[in-house]
Structure 1
């Protein structure tokens, strides 16, 4: 890896990993003109700043707690005016999907009995699998299947398609979700998830990657959060993104109001009316 970095010229190398002396030394050995990284906000950053062109110090060791704006310091630096070029705004997240990936995922959801534009992606089931959907910045971001069962029951006009992180979860979903008109799809990469969302009518998810990917593909979504504050941190300007935030009144995600989720589902009907 170091050989590749030294044998090529780069104007800039960015790292979103918190750098200590070791990581900073690795970046320093490259031939890049500018070496930019976040560094630890504690003693672990000792010496790292001397080897980097520009550093950013977060408020905590978990960058993900910053939510949607977790990289705001780096983005502000990247867009700064330089060489007589005015400040450049950073565009919103957009995701491209290859034809091959679309076809692969299409085969998956069709095998689950779903049709393009006629299913809702369900994402954020509680799991003990290492492939958990758990958000790094929100420890309370997954719902038990018993709650998802209640939500699936109030979905009408669309087929609920449950995303599972591991094949062993299929049996749990089939056992607990009583609604027989559901689909179950094993998704293993963010690209597959983006393709599944792209062909859907929308998304109902907890604080997981599915919400951000729905925003990137401009799909309507319902985001479930443990508190209103978390919703504002992870999905700012939700209305502009065709996203409705439903937050728990107790501060615990498992106590989410299913009635409020049902009421929010009108966003999917509105989306169909605009097509």
Structure 2
């Protein structure tokens, strides 16, 4: 097989949660460029429609479905509808996420639950649905979780306290390992991307006051850019990573090595 064929996603369908903007949309661009039909879910229909128009302008076949991972009862019906209307899901990118900044002693319970429900509980339920409806019957699949370097370390005390986010992303890191081990003999790989700081809507507040400190503590002295996740996302979604599973890979400009 030619090397370029290992990355070819033609005929594959990729479901990307939280795919209407930010890192999810960047990943959709990458997988679509290499031939995948992309399916985006997110809460806001207008943002999904804008993303669909953007992707189609790049020549990518895209479908969009408004869905909230925090609404557990809607998850399996949404996956069922996608499979019925688009086809079997070959690649699942668990990208949707939520965060909350507050000192632990003052952290509201409802905010804690919101973060856990999206970042872990909803991710578990959509993964379970895709496994049962698509990947296990097919005996193949690629699951790519978007975790965070926040799941690989503690939190700089000079930055906003984000215990729920760090805890949920740490859970997703081990979700990746445990599920990878369970699925390893079933033709399904499970890996995660752990981004450092990228300029997105979620990081806007942090970057507003902490960008300079972040740049100073990052060996490459820059934030993540619009192309920096694409290569790894393509690798983990394609046959080029067929012998990789259970890996949590930091994309952070070297921040984790210092």
Query: Structure 1-normalised TM-score?
Result: 0.40
TM-score norm. by structure 2 comes to 0.42
Higher relative contact order (CA 8 A, sep 6+): 2
Higher helix share: 2
Report the structure number with the largest CA radius of gyration: 1
